[in-house]
Amino acid sequence: MAVTIVNPQNLVYARPKGFTDTPTHYCPGCTHGTAHRLVAEVLEEMNILDRTIGVAPVGCAVFAYNYIDVDFVEAAHGRAPAMATGIKRVLPDRVVFSYQGDGDLASIGMAETVHAAARGENITIIFINNAIYGMTGGQMAPTTLPGMKTTSSPNGRDVETQGYPIRVSEMLATLDGAGYIVRRSLHDPKNIRLAKKAIRTAFETQVHGLGFSMVELLSTCNTGWGVTPVESLTWLEEHMIPAFPLGDYKIAPAVAALKF
Amino acid sequence: MAREMWKGNEAIAEAAVRAGLEAYFGYPITPQNEVLEYLSHRMPELGRAFVQAESEPAVINMVYGAACTGARVMTSSSSPGISLMQEGLSYIAGTEVPMVLVNVMRGGPGLGNIAPSQGDYNQICKGGGHGDYHPIVLAPASIQEAVDLMPVAFELAHKYLNICTILIDGSIGQMMEPIQLPEMQPVVRKEYGWAVSGAKGRERHILTSIYLDVPTEEKTNLRLLGRWREAQANEIRYKEYFLDDAEYVVIGFGTAGRIALSAVRAARAQGHKVGLFRPISVNPFPYKRVEELCKQAKSFLVVEMNTGQMLKDVQAAVRNRIPMRFYGRLGGVMPFPDEFIQEIQEMIKNPGKPDDDPADLWYQRMMAR
């Protein structure tokens, strides 16, 4: 006999329909799980789970398809925006999104990202910026902060020889094809709520055919950063936000006018 | 339908359209630009997908995405561009989704030149990208044959969930010939049990080439091999000319095979019992038929526009049973029929021994020129 633990009228939090029952492989404290959940919630709320196709990256989120319960393909490193383009052009009435980290999107896949935005490709990118290569063990990323220690910048990123971090949202916002480009953060509940709203707007941008949409999410990698989960949230707030200011970098007038 | 003069690249593009091409992604590179240019107006006119991408890696990953939907999808490029696509081709092979690739080969390696060459035989036939996979490769020798093979390429790609490459060179891409185009086939999107389209009313589909569980990857490799073995058994294609009573057999694919036909005709006119064997499916390669021809032939002459890449496949079938001769021109140089005629005459005069190394002897002759 089924036991009702929570009466439906009292239920305020449950596993979203867009989530599978598979426990994630992410390190405890990592914000990937939060980002995944926000995507799953938005797809469920928009009632588009059964017409959405996800494109997983190479990086920690390589197995995103194990958790977000929609049709999925697994791209080569950095090529997710191209793969998403191929799917979207053949199936223009479906919702196509990629989920990519900073190494995938801003290093090896920068060309694919910039050109998808320039074409105004009607796809959505969820961009996880945690300033490090997580899966391969904490190497320097294109978003690693100056002076930040990684396994391939052990003395701290030296901008003289290793260059400067790339602010992707600011860069893509210069492109006419971009409909919605914002940066949010996952370090506290308030910002997580704002992030969810942005993800919703990004998918609405796509559903309404208003061009390329990307939500950059400042995220933690406590393992790669070598700090505790709680410390990582503080570190994000204190160090990453000044380097990558939160904000709306491009909201096309038609997107601003959307009601949902 | 009337015969019309068509340029090779444009004819291939139109043949693909008529075979139900739903999406084309490309990037400019000579000598295949006309495929891209032609489809840039033809595809939108029919409401089908066309994208000029930012690079060949982007092209092949757009193809990869579109292939995951089960659509008939194609790209075309030329040698350096094909090299840039190898990563994506390996992923496509590993994910077991169908696509058609047209390689209009040019002289290489490196930037090379834009003249016709067959230097990509190994790259295209033996895989090119990383991992254990075997693409299907068809090598037509005329525009008509290329046009006729276009629907076949899509059928094979979808039947074997594999890459099917049409391998031609710049001369076939650039020249004009009278051809007859096939009737327009309707676009039919089948409901595949594997394709992604949004999981409406069904279990969701996941397409990937990652198998971290090693035994599962081995199983996947065996599944690919199983399908490849089926293709080897069923998809051998070749054309034979004057072979009934031939004592000497010339073997060449694509343009080299076509030039060889002129040479063989001339040698026949001189009274020599020479025939031509022209593989069309260069992968799977017609090993068995070549082996059979050893029984009737005193000697083989293999002709190519490379350093003897297909020669290795012929040798694998011949296994030193009969003497062989090789003649190749390189780097974009087109051989004349006269050169082949001379080679045929030399072969008849002195067939050599089965243990001779034909590539070595050819190299010595080239250097002594």
CA distance B45 to A79: 28
Q: Does B208 touch chain A (CB under 8 A)?
A: yes
pLDDT surpasses 90 at B113: yes
User: Chain B residue closest to A89 (CA)?
Assistant: B49
Q: How many degrees, rounded to 5, is the angle at CA A137 between CA A131 and CA A138?
A: 25
Nearest to A55 by CA among B90, B95, B189: B95
User: Chain A residue closest to B53 (CA)?
Assistant: A115
Which strand (E) or helix (H) includes residue A44?
helix A32-45
Nearest to B172 by CA among B106, B113, B75: B106
Q: Are B38 and B12 in contact (CB under 8 A)?
A: no
Q: What value does the mean pLDDT take over residues B166-184?
A: 98
pLDDT at A10: 87
Q: Do A76 and B51 touch (CB under 8 A)?
A: no
CB contacts, 8 Å: B199 with chain A = 49-50, 70-71
| Distance from the A257 Cα atom to the nearest Cα atom in chain B, whole angstroms | 28
Q: Are residues B118 and B258 in the same domain?
A: no
pLDDT at B127: 82
Which of B59, B62, B206 is facing A72, going by the closest CB pair? B206
- B163-169 and B136-138 strand pairing: parallel
Structural domain that includes position B145: 4-234
Q: Are A61 and A130 in contact (CB under 8 A)?
A: no
Q: Do B25 and A55 touch (CB under 8 A)?
A: no
Q: How confident is the model at residue B188 (pLDDT cuts 50, 70, 90)?
A: confident
| Distance from the B66 Cα atom to the nearest Cα atom in chain A, whole angstroms | 4
Q: Does B97 touch chain A (CB under 8 A)?
A: no
- Residue B250 phi/psi, 5-degree rounding, is -95, 135
CB contacts, 8 Å: B61 with chain A = 75-76, 79, 82-83, 86, 112
pLDDT in tens, B296-329: 999 999 999 999 999 999 999 999 999 999 999 9
Prediction ipTM score? 0.95
CA distance A106 to B300: 55
CB contacts, 8 Å: B65 with chain A = 55, 73, 75, 82-88, 90
Q: Does B84 touch chain A (CB under 8 A)?
A: no
Tally of structural domains, chain B: 2
pLDDT at A180: 98
CA distance A51 to A227: 40
CATH of the domain at B290: 3.40.50.920
Which residues make Cβ contacts (< 8 Å) with residue B212, sequence separation at least 6? none
User: Chain B residue closest to A20 (CA)?
Assistant: B204
Q: Does B132 touch chain A (CB under 8 A)?
A: no
Dihedral over alpha carbons B207, B211, B212, B214 (to 10 degrees): 170
Helix (H/G/I), strand (E/B), else coil: B122: helix
- List beta partners, residue B276: B241, B250
Q: Do A72 and B207 touch (CB under 8 A)?
A: yes
Which strand (E) or helix (H) includes residue B340?
helix B337-349
Mutate to test the interface with A, among B40, B73, B202, B204 (most CBs of A within 10 A): B204
The answer for B 24-83 residues in CB contact with A (under 8 A) is 25, 49, 51, 53-55, 57-59, 61-69, 71, 73
Using beta carbons and an 8 Å cutoff, which residues of A are at the interface with B? Answer: 49-53, 55-56, 62, 65, 69-76, 79, 82-91, 94-95, 111-112, 114-115, 119
Which of B66, B198, B201 is facing A94, going by the closest CB pair? B198
- B176-179 and B4-7 strand pairing: antiparallel
pLDDT in tens, B47-86: 999 999 999 999 999 999 999 999 999 999 999 999 999 9
| Distance from the A83 Cα atom to the nearest Cα atom in chain B, whole angstroms | 4
Q: Are residues B227 and B259 in the same domain?
A: no
CA distance B164 to B152: 9
pLDDT at B1: 65
The CATH code of domain A22-256 reads 3.40.50.970
Q: Are A192 and A243 in contact (CB under 8 A)?
A: no
User: Chain A residue closest to B75 (CA)?
Assistant: A86
User: Chain B residue closest to A48 (CA)?
Assistant: B198
In the listed set B213, B234, B255, which residue is the last one of a domain according to the structure? B234
pLDDT in tens, B236-255: 999 999 999 999 999 999 99
| Distance from the B98 Cα atom to the nearest Cα atom in chain A, whole angstroms | 14
In the listed set B234, B259, B284, which residue is the last one of a domain according to the structure? B234
Q: Between A80-90 and B56-67, two packed helices, what is the crossing angle to 10 degrees?
A: 50
pLDDT at B2: 84
Q: Are residues B212 and B278 in the same domain?
A: no
CB contacts, 8 Å: A56 with chain B = 208
Q: Do B207 and A74 touch (CB under 8 A)?
A: yes
CB contacts, 8 Å: A71 with chain B = 196-199, 204-206
The 10 Å Cβ neighbour count of residue A88 is 26
Q: Do A71 and B205 touch (CB under 8 A)?
A: yes
Which of B53, B197, B208 is facing A91, going by the closest CB pair? B197
Nearest to B264 by CA among B244, B284, B280: B244
CA distance B104 to B35: 10
Q: Are residues B60 and B199 in the same domain?
A: yes
Which residues make Cβ contacts (< 8 Å) with residue B13, sequence separation at least 6? B24, B34, B35, B38, B39, B42, B76
pLDDT in tens, B3-57: 999 999 999 999 999 999 999 999 999 999 999 999 999 999 999 999 999 999 9
Which of B25, B54, B66 is facing A111, going by the closest CB pair? B54
Which of B23, B59, B88 is facing A76, going by the closest CB pair? B88
| DSSP labels, B46-70 | TT-EEEE-SSHHHHHHHHHHHHTTT
Q: Are residues B191 and B307 in the same domain?
A: no
Q: Are residues B219 and B244 in the same domain?
A: no
pLDDT in tens, B262-284: 999 999 999 999 999 999 999 99
pLDDT at B193: 94
pLDDT at B129: 96
Which residues make Cβ contacts (< 8 Å) with residue B350, sequence separation at least 6? none
Q: Are residues B188 and B229 in the same domain?
A: yes
Mutate to test the interface with A, among B189, B196, B200, B220 (most CBs of A within 10 A): B196
- Residue A71 phi/psi, 5-degree rounding, is -55, 140
Residue holding tokens 């002709």? B303
pLDDT at B270: 96
| DSSP labels, B303-320 | EESSSSHHHHHHHHHHTT
Per-block mean pLDDT, blocks of 10 residues, chain A (260 long): 75 91 95 97 98 97 96 98 98 98 98 98 98 96 97 97 98 98 98 98 98 98 97 98 98 97
Distances (CA, A) of B5 to A114, B18, B142, B149, B317: 41, 17, 13, 18, 39
CA distance A72 to A64: 9
| Distance from the B13 Cα atom to the nearest Cα atom in chain A, whole angstroms | 18
Ranges of each domain in chain A = 22-256
CB contacts, 8 Å: A52 with chain B = 198
Percent of residues, chain B, with pLDDT higher than 90? 98
Q: Do A74 and B208 touch (CB under 8 A)?
A: yes
